[in-house]
Structure 1
Amino acid sequence: MKSKKRILIAPLNWGLGHATRCVPIINALIKHHFEPVIASDGAALVLLKKEFPNCQSIELPSYHITYPKKGKHFKLKLLQDSPKLMKAIIAEKRETAAIIEKYKIDGIISDNRLGIHHKSLPCVFITHQLQVLSGTTTWLSTNLHQKVIKRFEECWVPDNLGDPNLSGKLGHFPLYEIPIKYIGPLSRLKKEHLPIAYDILVLISGPEPQRSILETKLLDVFKHYNGNILFIRGLIEKEQHISISGQLTIYNFMTTEEINTAINESKIIVTRSGYTTLMDLTKLNKKVFFIPTPGQFEQEYLAKRLTSLGYAPSCSQDEFSLEKLNETSKYKGLQTMDYDVNYKKLFSLFKGK
């Protein structure tokens, strides 16, 4: 007979952000005497298995999301991929029903996995996008996303309700049918006052081929840089690989503890403007230069917003250069937002009436 309530927690495998922002929630579930059951696929699942080797983990059907080589084709590529996406969601729904029965699940937390839901259990959807930007079709993408969210009991938005906040119009958009809970920025990292060891830290993740395209460009740009550079490729593989060439140190991936130290020891971060990255670097109060993924409206909006607010410079992938990096000194850097989540109250949904 099981003594703890089992909560299925399932992040989307699209880059590493959805998985890493679930780390503090999984830790909180354990601390509050729940038993997390982790479900995902690909690199997201590999990462969480490394972080929580003692938790039950399950492989879900993959969405097989990839980016086009040219950002302007992003929307068309998503449209072309929609049949296989729908197929994966249907398979995900079947798998969820089987997991609930096999593992005696008491509640569900889905981070942007559209088919992880069951009408017989309390279900939560985590997203920072109550409004989904897609250019001229924003009204449609938002409407479709909100239809999914409304199937859940609650929606948790990892941001502040008022100002200052990180998501802007993405996470502050009307949705009246279900409770919206702003739970503050989520991060697995913590601020430490360490001596600076690296002038530049390059952090890359995200779906292919754009991850590799940016990696190739930045390796070429920084071979001319006179300073210590740490380059984390964002490839979650079975074994960690480290290579050193002059002042450039390259890792395929780092554990949470290692990446926490690396960011705290770095002067400037060069990275994508993914939302989880924003939350992490805000918590660590870092100077950063953003290069949004080409064609991804969300990242482009977030980068432009933070640039316009005076926090961090940004530019397109094609425009990035060493000269652009000098702009970082003109910006104030990301500012820490202290927010204590009341997890006991948040998890009361799973306690039952």
Structure 2
Amino acid sequence: MLNKKINIPTVLVAPLDWGLGHTTRCVPIIRQLQHHGYKVIVAAEGPALFLLRQEFPGIDYLELKGYRIQYAKYKRLLPLKILLQLPKIFFAIRYEHRWLQQKIKELPVQMVISDNRYGLWSKAIPSIFVTHQLQIQTPFTWLTRFVQILNYRYIRHFNTCWVPDTAGSFNVAGNLSHPQVLPRVPVVYTGLLSRLQTLPLQGAAMRYRWLFLLSGPEPQRSLLQQKLLQLAAEMDENVLLVLGRPGSTAVTQGPANCTVINHLSSENMQQAFAGCDFVLSRSGYTTVMELLLLQKKALLVPTPGQTEQEYLAGHLQQQQWCYTCTQNELTIEQLHAATQFHYQLPAFTSTGLDEAIQAMPWDNQKTRTA
């Protein structure tokens, strides 16, 4: 269904650079916008920009600095590491807000879809905020409440908030996406978002017992990479290790049974999922959505100290949707336990993304509840 407007609106889509999950879940959003006839401009930098250029070579791109978050090497130091980067985050939010106002003057941008970038709103045009974390998990209850208040103060600047989860009790993110109190803007549950589809394995494709997927900020991505290479050397089965480094030309050697690749396009990633029996990955939300929609059995290893991933992995294992262990606990024995785990995978199918796009707030009269 094409947009009914004579002058097709231009939508600016901008994902956060905190790992690649925000970027990959923008892929189905961009596809659906294009299906409805909208012109899309993407704002990003670094690996996110490379990934989206690969997926959509025919659209326009703008360079926009990311938040460039770094993680701590040790779990106990992560809260302090994030705290010390707060001034940089707040500066990035102010910078991207000023950047957007200038781009609105220069370009025919008529709407913004911002995946967790708090500064990309404007009084001049409608804006949509995309997040699965209406309640951001922290180690302390009082801090979780404070962060939620701060989170909602930013979200209230937007016209609408899209949550990539299902409405109601049968959902994926639990308290993250279904807190007791919602923000004071319209909240739309789009259903699960994934760039991947279930495909039959092509005849010439290689089969693997395990697909290891790496993602997330440094240095934790590299620390898990080292551990997975060591584990692969102890295994007899074939392993495919995807390093999560779009645009990198570095060559990483693995043991004879382990194929190592920097990055896979959506099409090749679909074949990798089709050709594996089990997946090991971080418990980032976008990866979780892809795993559940493809109904893959997975061992989830939360990023140490990242409370959202720790909560999500535990929440999913309680429902027997995945198996999980910490990075320190990750051994050959845990891999074996994951293969023996009694999975009860849910059936998630259609999404509400199409309906959400058709209902986008083109009239910039604020539809906020307060």
Asked if TM exceeds 0.5, the reply is: yes
Q: Displaced runs of 4+ in structure 1, greater than 3 A?
A: 238-245, 350-353
Q: Does the Cα contact within 8 Å between 1:159 and 1:171 map onto a contact in 2?
A: yes
**1:176, distance to aligned residue in structure 2 (A):** 4.8
Bigger mean CA offset, 338-347 vs 74-83 = 338-347
Per-residue deviation, residues 327-350 of structure 1 (Å, max 9, x unmatched): 222231543301232525534325
Match status 1:318 vs 2:328:
yes
Q: Aligned runs of 1:157-172 on 2, under 5 Å?
A: 157-172=163-178
Secondary structure in 1 matching 2:10 = strand
Which whole-Å CA distance do the structure 1 matches of 2:347 and 2:61 have between them? Answer: 33
CA offsets 1:193-234 (integer angstroms, 9 cap, x no match)? 337811000000110000000000110111110111000000
Of the three residues 102, 107, 110, the one matched with 1:106 is 110
Please say if residues 126 and 362 of structure 2, whose CA atoms lie closer than 8 Å, have aligned partners that are also in contact.
no
Instruction: Kindly provide the CA deviation profile for residues 139-194 of structure 1, in whole angstroms up to 9, marking residues without a partner as x.
Output: 11111111111111110000011232110000001215111110100000011233
Q: 2:199 aligns to what? A: 192
- Quick one: distance in 1 between partners of 2:26 and 2:238? 31
* Aligned pairs for 1:314-353 within 5 A: 314-328=324-338, 329-332=340-343, 334-341=345-352, 343=354, 346-352=357-363
Instruction: Tell me the equivalent position of 2:368.
Output: none
Structure 2 Cα separation of the partners of residues 244 and 301 of structure 1: 32
Residue 181 (structure 1) aligns with:
188
Query: Match of 1:311, as an amino acid?
Result: W
SS for the counterpart of 1:169 is helix
Contact 1:202 1:231 in 2 (8 A): yes
**For the structure 1 residues 51 and 243, does the alpha-carbon distance in structure 2 shift closer, same or farther, using more than 3 Å as the test?**
farther
**Alignment partners' CA distance in 2, 1:116 and 1:275:** 22
- The two structures have a TM-score, normalised by structure 1, of 0.95
Deviation readout 1:1-53 (Å, 9 max, x if unpaired): x9421011110001100000000000011110111110122211111111111
Q: Which amino acid aligns with 2:69?
A: I
- Tell me the amino acid that sits aligned with residue 183 of structure 1: T
- The answer to whether the aligner puts 1:94 opposite 2:98 as a matched pair is yes
The aligned residue for residue 148 of structure 2 is: 142
RMSD: 1.8
For 2:173 and 2:353, locate their aligned partners in 1 and report how far apart those are by CA, in whole Å.
21
Q: Superposition pairs for residues 43-62 of structure 1, below 5 Å? A: 43-62=47-66
Report % sequence identity: 37
1:73 aligns with 2:80: no
Q: Give the gaps of 5 or more residues in structure 2.
A: 1-5, 365-370
8 Å CA contact retained: 1:106, 1:350 = no
Residue in structure 2 matched with residue 236 of structure 1 by the alignment: 246
Alignment coverage as a number of residue pairs: 352
Q: Aligned to 2:114, what secondary structure does the other structure show?
A: strand
Q: CA deviation at 1:135?
A: 1.4
Distance 1:69 1:229 in 2: 26
Alpha-carbon shift at residue 240 of structure 1 (Å): 8.7
> Relative to structure 2, which stretch is displaced further, 324-333 or 163-172?
324-333
The answer for the alignment partner of 2:3 in structure 1 is none
Choose from 246, 258, 267 the match for 2:268: 258
Structure 2: which amino acid aligns with 1:192? L
Mean CA deviation greater in 223-232 or 190-199: 190-199
SS in 1 for 2:85: helix
* Counterpart-to-counterpart distance in 2, 1:213 and 1:320: 12
Aligned to 1:226: 236
- 1:202 aligns to what SS in structure 2? strand
Q: Is the 8 A contact 1:284 1:336 kept in 2?
A: no
Q: Distance in 1 between matches of 2:261 and 2:81?
A: 30
- Offset, 1:60: 0.9
Does residue 164 of structure 2 align to residue 153 of structure 1?
Answer: no
Task: Output the amino acid matched with 2:343.
Answer: K
Q: Which runs of 5+ in 1 are unaligned?
A: none
CA shift in 2, pair 1:338/1:163, >3 Å: farther
Query: Which whole-Å CA distance do the structure 2 matches of 1:243 and 1:3 have between them?
Result: 52
Q: Distance in 2 between matches of 1:119 and 1:10?
A: 18
Alpha carbons 2:248, 2:262 under 8 Å: kept: no
Contact 1:202 1:229 in 2 (8 A): yes
